[in-house]
Amino acid sequence: MEAVLELFKNFQFLLIGAWETLKLTAFSVGIGLILGTFIGMGRLSKIKLINYPCTAYVEFLRGTPLLVQISIIYFGLPQLGIQLAPYPAAITALGLNSGAYIAEIVRAGIQSIPKGQYEAARSLGLTHWQSMRYVILPQAFRNILPALGNEFITLTKDSSLASVIGVSELMRAGQFVISRTFQTFSIYFGIAFIYFVMTFVISRLVRYVERRMATA
């Protein structure tokens, strides 16, 4: 009973953490989207000087744990003279990480568009960039919306790792409550519940947008 009571008493505090989680995730996805779009296009470039670094980027960031990446940026970079506060460090790490995953999604999205679309655009005199911007990417993004939604959900959950460098997001807020109340089960369960509500709402939102775009 006391456990439930403590959860309710501290629920508002957890919600503040949840709000921070959402902001952290949104910023990171924003960075990831921009980064991923360019790297995804770069992965398809015939120019080796563009293609190879983009491929290396994707492979490296997907092949190493996010926790290690966060640690490198927050604990490692200061040794090279680059000191980031916890929040910017977390956004950087999560953004760079999701950039790699989104790059693969974008690459697949571009490849899903028939070659004739690009050729038609180019045959009208549009440049490579104009063809991408007005013809290929709008169609590609429509196709990859579900995959991007998944990435958003994954990142919402992964952002909990930012707690290890002291970002006061949901996980960290929960740990703080536990350190005062010692109610490990109910608080962790409360945290899980809030994460679930967030990811559930996001997945419904994505599905809604998807349906609207399908009929548009």
Partner 1 sequence: MNDKDGNEIIIKIEDLVKKFGKLEVLKGVNMQVRRQETIVIIGPSGGGKSTLLRCINKLEHYQGGKIYLDGKDIDEYDVNQLRTRIGMVFQQFNLFPHMNVLQNLTLAPIKVKKIQEKEAVEKAKYLLNKVGLIDKIDAYPEQLSGGQKQRVAIARALMMDPEIMLFDEPTSALDPELVGEVLDVMKDLANSGMTMLVVTHEMGFAKEVADRIVFISNGVIEEEGKPEEILKNPQKPRTREFLRRIL
124, 201, 205, 209: which one contacts partner 1 (CB under 8 A)?
A: 124
CB of 47 to partner 1, least distance (A): 15
- Three-state SS at 50: helix
CB neighbour list of residue 136: distance below 8 Å, 6 or more residues apart: 110, 113, 117, 118, 121
Residue 112 CB, nearest distance to partner 1 (Å)?
13
Residue 63 is a binding residue for partner 1 (CB under 8 A): no
**Buried/exposed 23-58: b ≥16 CB within 10 Å, e otherwise:** ebbebbbebbbebbbebbbbbeeeeeebeeebbebb
DSSP code, position 81: T
Q: Which of 84, 108, 122, 199 is in the footprint of partner 1 by CB under 8 A? A: 122
Q: Coil, helix or strand for 94?
A: helix
Q: Pick the piece of the chain touching partner 1 (CB under 8 A) from 90-98, 99-107, 135-143, 198-206.
A: 135-143
Site membership for partner 1, residue 64 (CB under 8 A): no
142 binds partner 1 (CB under 8 A): yes
* 114 contacts partner 1 (rule: CB under 8 A): yes
Map the footprint of partner 1 across residues 165-184, applying CB under 8 A: none
Q: Could you say whether residue 209 binds partner 1 (CB under 8 A)?
A: no
Residue (23 or 142) nearer to partner 1, CB: 142
Among the listed ranges 6-14, 138-146, 155-163, 186-194, the one in contact with partner 1 (CB under 8 A) is 138-146
State the nearest-atom distance from the C-beta of 38 to partner 1, in Å: 20
Length of the chain: 216
- Among residues 105, 135, 145, 171, the one that binds partner 1 under rule CB under 8 A: 135
Task: Please state the closest distance from residue 132 (CB atom) to partner 1, in A.
Answer: 12
117 contributes a contact to partner 1 by CB under 8 A: yes
Own/partner long-range contacts of 160-164 (Cβ < 8 Å, ≥24 apart): 160/21, 160/195, 161/66, 161/67, 161/70, 162/24, 162/70, 162/86, 162/90, 162/93, 162/94, 164/67, 164/70, 164/71
Do the Cβ atoms of 89 and 163 come closer than 8 Å?
no
Site residues (CB under 8 A) for partner 1?
114, 116-117, 119-127, 130, 134-135, 138-139, 142
